[in-house]
Structure formats: structure tokens, C-alpha cells
Amino acid sequence: MSDILDVSHQREAIAKAAAYLSGILEPHFKKTAKFEPPRTLIICGSGLGGISTKLSIDNPPPITIPYQDIPGFKKSTVPGHSGTLMFGSMNGSPVVLMNGRLHGYEGNTLFETTFPIRVLNHMGHVHNLIVTNAAGGINAKYQACDLMCIYDHLNIPGLAGQHPLRGPNLDEVGPRFLALSDAYDLELRKLLFKKWKELKIQRPLHEGTYTFVSGPTFETRAESKMIRMLGGDAVGMSTVPEVIVARHCGWRVLALSLITNTCVVDSPASALDESPVPLEKGKATHAEVLENGKIASNDVQNLIAAVMEEL
């Protein structure tokens, strides 16, 4: 797919994928009353595919569809992202799960990255998005393995013209000029904090601003410092395109970051310094992101499952 599709091609691609999914799901809806159309989409972030273990295994058993079988869906190419759509039930609430997300840095256009949301919206049942991600901590108070409920975002590529709503507008879905001052649903955020308290989760749950960068490089020190100065609390390479498209569809959004590493904001070691701090100190790695993801992922899974109880 090219960067910008005209409206008729967008509509055609969306309808084709929706028809494919309906063809698989409809017989299940008919066969068992227990299998209801999902009201909520959960997107699993890096290392957070374990959320799928919270799907009910037999009431009804989940239906798993690989992205590569769905027309127009791109494949997930990143370690820690499996690439399947799973329809089932979590804590009694019907749900669809994206086990593995699509990123712009993999070479996907923002239309392709957010295509699953468009397709599910076309199918007409989903109206909640729960999105999770791994993020770097920018706020000095944040530590690796803390959690952050997103209450606002900085869309750095979007401010510079790489925006998921760029191009012809799907008027039947949402407005041309979408307000994002209310992007992160207050009731859902309150629910998340309530569940965090009820579950007595020990790791901190902050509330803050997520900064979207395109990646795939981790930030330089100067970039991390800039993000902190701009008011960002965490930084990552995902989430914001999906949130924007979900809001365009009129869905409610809850977004949760797992802080997998802390970003380095101090100036680099100087060549003029007699005993410089080693330059590699604090350097981010994908292995660290996945490792810390593993440590905190149980809490994330339990939190999401508890929220699902009420959706």
C-alpha cells in the first residue's frame, strides 16, 4: 500500500478484511450464544503478549487468526510480537486481542499500522480500546518496571506531518478536524487506578504524558532531555497512531505503559573530561525492554483482566 490511499481504496481494503473476519466469526456467533461480538480491543505491547493468557480457554475457546491470513493486514516483524488476532472472552467480557502490534518503523504506513482498528470499527461492535506498550522513562521519578497510565500525549512525527489521519477523510467514520484534548477516557483511567488499588499492586502506577517517536533508534541524550523539557513523562515508538484512529472512530481509550528502562538525559562524557562517566552507562537495549517487560508483565495482565471485568 502506498503512503496515502484514496478514500475508495481505503473503504475497499477495510470492507474486504472485515468480510474475511466476519466469514470466520459469524458461524461461531450462530453456534454458541456464549460467543459474543467483542466490545473491546486490547493491543499487546512489546513483551506483553502474555495478556492473552487471561483469555478464557473454554468459555468459549478463543479463535486465533494470524495477521498474514487477513487481507490487508501486515505481518509483525519484531521479536516479542506474535502477530495474531484472538477473539474470545476475558473475565466474562467479549474481547478481541491484537497479540503483536504493527509499528511504523517496520516499514508500515500509518494506515497499515492502524488498519486493524479501522476494520474492527467497520464490523461495528468494538467501542473500547485498551492499548499497552513498553516505554522509556523520561520523568526523573520513574523507575524501570513502574507503570504509567497515559493521560495525554506528544505526537512528534504527527506534529511534523506524519499523521495517521493525513489524507482524505473517512467522513462516515469521524470528523476531518478531530479534537484530541479528551483522548484518554477519564472514567477508564479511574477504573484502572481502582483496580490497581484493589489488586494491591506494589509497583507504582503513575499518570503521565506519553511521547510518540518514530524509532527504531532509542533516543539520544539530547532528544531525551528535549522530551523532558516538552513535558513528556515517557517515550515510545507506538500507541499514538492507534489512539488517534480509535478516537476518530469514536471509541473510548485506555492506555497503559510499562516503563522498561530509564532514558539518559545527562550530557555525554566529554573528550575534555579527566575521568568521564562511561558513555555506555544507561544505554537502552531491546533485550532490557523485553526482560523488564517480563518482570512486570504479570501485574499488567492482572490489571487488564480486572478492568475487563467491568467492560
Q: Which residues bind ligand HPA (CB under 6 A)?
A: 134-136, 218-219, 235-237, 260-261, 263, 284, 289
CA–CA gap between residue 93 and residue 87 (Å, rounded): 11
CB of residue 54 to ligand HPA, shortest distance in Å: 22
Residue 110 labelled as part of a binding site:
no
41: left (phi over 0), alpha (psi -120 to 50) or beta: beta
DSSP 143: -
Nearer Cβ to ligand HPA, position 106 or 185? Answer: 106
Cα first-last separation, the chain: 35
Residue 261 appears among annotated catalytic residues: yes
Shortest Å distance, C-beta 261 to ligand HPA: 5
- 133 or 301: whose CB is closer to ligand HPA? 133
Q: By Cβ distance, which residue is nearest to ligand HPA? A: 136
Quick check: is 106 catalytic? yes
Cβ 221 to ligand HPA, closest distance in Å? 12
- Asked if 279 contacts 269 with a C-beta cutoff of 8 angstroms, the reply is yes
- Looking at beta carbons only, is 13 or 235 nearer to ligand HPA? 235
Active site residue 81: yes
Q: Is 103 annotated as a binding residue?
A: yes
103 flagged as catalytic: yes
How many Å apart are CA 84 and CA 65, to the nearest integer? Answer: 5
Angle at 168 between CA 65 and CA 242, to 5 degrees: 40
101 is in an annotated binding site: yes
The phi and psi torsions of 242 (rounded to 5 degrees) equal: -65, -40
C-alpha cell of residue 202 = 506494589
Task: Give the pairing type, strands 63-66 and 234-236.
Answer: unpaired
d(CA 87, CA 308): 14
Share in percent of the chain as helix, strand, coil (round to 5) = 35, 20, 45
Cis peptide before 241 (omega within 30 of 0): no
Q: Which is nearer to ligand HPA, 93 or 260 (CB)?
A: 260
Options 86, 98, 237, 305, the catalytic residue: 237
**Do the annotations mark residue 238 as ligand-binding?**
yes
286 is catalytic: yes
Nine cell digits for residue 305: 483482566
On whether 163 is known to bind a ligand per the annotation, the reply is no
Q: Which is closer to ligand HPA, CB of 219 or CB of 299?
A: 219
Q: How far is the CB of 307 from ligand HPA (least distance, A)?
A: 22
Active site residue 46: yes
Does 81 carry a binding-site annotation?
yes
Residues annotated within the binding site are 46, 81, 101-103, 134, 219, 238, 261
Q: Which residues are annotated as a binding site for a purine D-ribonucleoside?
A: 219, 261
- Could you tell me which residues are annotated as the binding site for phosphate? 46, 81, 101-103, 134, 238
Residue positions annotated with a catalytic role: 46, 81, 103, 105-106, 134, 237-238, 261, 286
